[in-house]
A and B are shown apart, each in its own frame.
Chain A
């Protein structure tokens, strides 16, 4: 009988076990149980209803849907690979910039900054997390893209004669994978920073002072003690950031340019899955609608997988820390 759970075994609780008031208690427990299960119910509903609505596209196009390299709904071509490509590419660009930045900020706050600077720094990062996606998009569209275009084209001109680089860094109109990736980097930095900070905070103080006592510089202490201890947790943080980046919609929609294309030109126009859903769903005919909802299903599956991986990694850190304590 765990009805009176916190007081298990205490005489008062066992005296009351089947006495007055047991009914309301059971009712309250049931209500909270139903509320708790809602998360599972909603997740299940999301997966099931969306899959059902997407089924026409899945069965109609079959492998040409999942492995088709052209997404041109007006011509009846529904191959999602260009959109998957855009999503993956943009997310990877975002990670390349966001991970070092986040780790740097986390180290700055945890190891370097004087105590009274910590709170302001954390506040700034939190505010960065609070800015709505669409505001990032609007700002980047009007105030950054012209500058990006100049810089990107400058780089493109500089590497024009170099074989691999001239493919990666081609001519640009401003809207591009790279622009979207850079803005995304800024947007996912807060989540990666905060998880990384938590992970760094679990490094035993003894290990750190031990390293310093042996004459290690602060950086050597970080490299020798903090990093090895935090590998798993930081991996989790990075995956959380990846999940965010993959699902980010409006900011990307505004600055990537809306051309579904498998292109290696990082400065070129592209498109991602969420952006395409966002643009098209409202006005789509039945078949396109089904194909777009299918994109939603795929996005759901991908982000759930990434997040499960991330949580596993973070939980593993938790367990190890509690095990040693």
Chain B
């Protein structure tokens, strides 16, 4: 009897432990629970594929539709061709009247010297201007936040408003520069400089926040060691803290540059339009993003080819910047 009760009580813990074991392997899960778990996992993978597939398809299509223009030899050096005639050849009503035909549109597109040099120069110029304005200012601002302001009331306010400013739509930055810079000057106000101002407004909060994150990663030991040698805060910051955070700051700034290079909305109505290269900050100019938009609006075979070429060029530039930034931040992670 006693052995009987012993074996009677024994099975209870036995089943328990086996239940646990089974639960760990998923063996006795109810069909419903197991299915729900599997379904959730499948949905998670699906979510990623839903985002990744369009990206891949877009990459392939931008590449295949832009590669001819970009590799046409004259692309990086020639002025942007006038698209008026190609548009006429493409116009169906005119075709009906006997003015050219569809193949005429295509042949005129291939006869024209394809070029995007003015827009490439303009993109570099506007982004350079914006970087010169925003990056030093942003880094200094971040130094204030992290080295001086810390948890003070003003620093907290600036931090909060910087986050808010990151969320201000880029088109609003464009409208702002349009009202304070272009309107008072008329058409003359439209320039690479105006576009740089708008892009700088866009970049500033990004640079401030990413730089502050990097300053946080610099160990306090370094600051204390420097201070213990009798060094002033400013010198510690310039000679010790900033060099230590340099890689991270560079990478954050590059991401901001990449973002600015791709922006269209704040650029189009403050930069004007040109088809020849303008190396100056003053006077109308153009950028790759602005060209993509206006060529798309033109329609026509030649314009479309130019738009795709500009898109591929822009994506290339932005992608290189982004990947370089990621590479830098991965290689030089502090701590």
CA distance A296 to B230 in the complex (A): 51
Known interface pairs A33-B144, A219-B41; A134-B165 also in contact (CB < 8 Å): no
Do the beta carbons of A40 and B157 come within 8 Å of each other?
A: yes
Do the beta carbons of B171 and A278 come within 8 Å of each other?
A: yes
Known interface pairs A43-B164, A112-B44, A299-B171; A49-B179 also in contact (CB < 8 Å): yes
Known interface pairs A281-B175, A300-B172; A36-B326 also in contact (CB < 8 Å): no
Most buried by B among A5, A38, A107, A138: A138
Do the beta carbons of A217 and B29 come within 8 Å of each other?
A: yes
A324 is an interface residue with CB less than 8 A from chain B: no
A-contacting residues, B212-251, CB 8 Å: 220, 223-224, 227-230, 232-238
Known interface pairs A5-B148, A135-B62; A125-B289 also in contact (CB < 8 Å): no
A6 is an interface residue with CB less than 8 A from chain B: yes
Do the beta carbons of B167 and A307 come within 8 Å of each other?
A: yes
A215 is an interface residue with CB less than 8 A from chain B: yes
The stretch from A65-73, A156-164, A240-248 touching chain B is A240-248
A105 is an interface residue with CB less than 8 A from chain B: yes
Do the beta carbons of A142 and B304 come within 8 Å of each other?
A: yes
Do the beta carbons of A35 and B140 come within 8 Å of each other?
A: yes
Cβ-neighbour of B233 out of A3, A35, A246, A293 (below 8 A): A3
What is the CB-to-nearest-CB distance from A224 to chain B, in angstroms, rounded to a whole number? 12
Do the beta carbons of A25 and B234 come within 8 Å of each other?
A: yes
The stretch from A9-17, A76-84, A166-174 touching chain B is A9-17
Cβ-neighbour of A36 out of B57, B140, B258 (below 8 A): B140
CA distance A179 to B179 in the complex (A): 32
A-contacting residues, B50-102, CB 8 Å: 50-52, 54-55, 57-58, 61-62, 65
Query: How does the 8 Å CB contact mask read for A272-284 relative to B, with 1 for contact and 0 for none?
Result: 0010011001100
| Chain B, residue nearest A26 (CB) | B234
CA distance A38 to B160 in the complex (A): 13
Cβ-neighbour of B51 out of A49, A101, A215, A244 (below 8 A): A101
Residues of B within 8 A of A12 (CB): 227-230
Residues of A within 8 A of B45 (CB): 108, 112
B-contacting residues, A268-325, CB 8 Å: 274, 277-278, 281-282, 292-293, 296, 299-300, 303-304, 306-308, 310-311
B36 is an interface residue with CB less than 8 A from chain A: yes
B115 is an interface residue with CB less than 8 A from chain A: no
A45 is an interface residue with CB less than 8 A from chain B: yes
What is the CB-to-nearest-CB distance from B119 to chain A, in angstroms, rounded to a whole number? 12
Do the beta carbons of A6 and B232 come within 8 Å of each other?
A: no
B143 is an interface residue with CB less than 8 A from chain A: yes
Cβ-neighbour of A127 out of B48, B164, B319 (below 8 A): B319
The stretch from B6-14, B106-114, B263-271 touching chain A is B263-271
Residues of A within 8 A of B142 (CB): 36
A231 is an interface residue with CB less than 8 A from chain B: no
Query: How does the 8 Å CB contact mask read for A14-44 relative to B, with 1 for contact and 0 for none?
Result: 0110000110110111011111111110110
Known interface pairs A107-B44, A130-B319; A37-B158 also in contact (CB < 8 Å): yes
Do the beta carbons of A138 and B308 come within 8 Å of each other?
A: yes
CA distance A29 to B144 in the complex (A): 7
Residues of A within 8 A of B155 (CB): 36
Q: Is the interface of A mostly helix, strand, loop or mixed?
A: helix
Residues of B within 8 A of A25 (CB): 232-234
Do the beta carbons of B168 and A39 come within 8 Å of each other?
A: no
What is the CB-to-nearest-CB distance from B245 to chain A, in angstroms, rounded to a whole number? 14
A126 is an interface residue with CB less than 8 A from chain B: yes
| Chain B, residue nearest A108 (CB) | B44
Do the beta carbons of A45 and B180 come within 8 Å of each other?
A: yes
Do the beta carbons of A250 and B264 come within 8 Å of each other?
A: yes
What is the CB-to-nearest-CB distance from A269 to chain B, in angstroms, rounded to a whole number? 17
Do the beta carbons of A39 and B161 come within 8 Å of each other?
A: yes
CA distance A127 to B326 in the complex (A): 11
Do the beta carbons of A104 and B167 come within 8 Å of each other?
A: no
Do the beta carbons of B224 and A10 come within 8 Å of each other?
A: yes
Known interface pairs A134-B293, A278-B269; A13-B227 also in contact (CB < 8 Å): yes
Query: How does the 8 Å CB contact mask read for B136-156 relative to A, with 1 for contact and 0 for none?
Result: 111111111101111000110
What is the CB-to-nearest-CB distance from A200 to chain B, in angstroms, rounded to a whole number? 12
The stretch from B124-132, B274-282, B310-318 touching chain A is B310-318
Do the beta carbons of A218 and B40 come within 8 Å of each other?
A: yes
Do the beta carbons of A36 and B264 come within 8 Å of each other?
A: no
Cβ-neighbour of A105 out of B51, B150, B154, B208 (below 8 A): B51
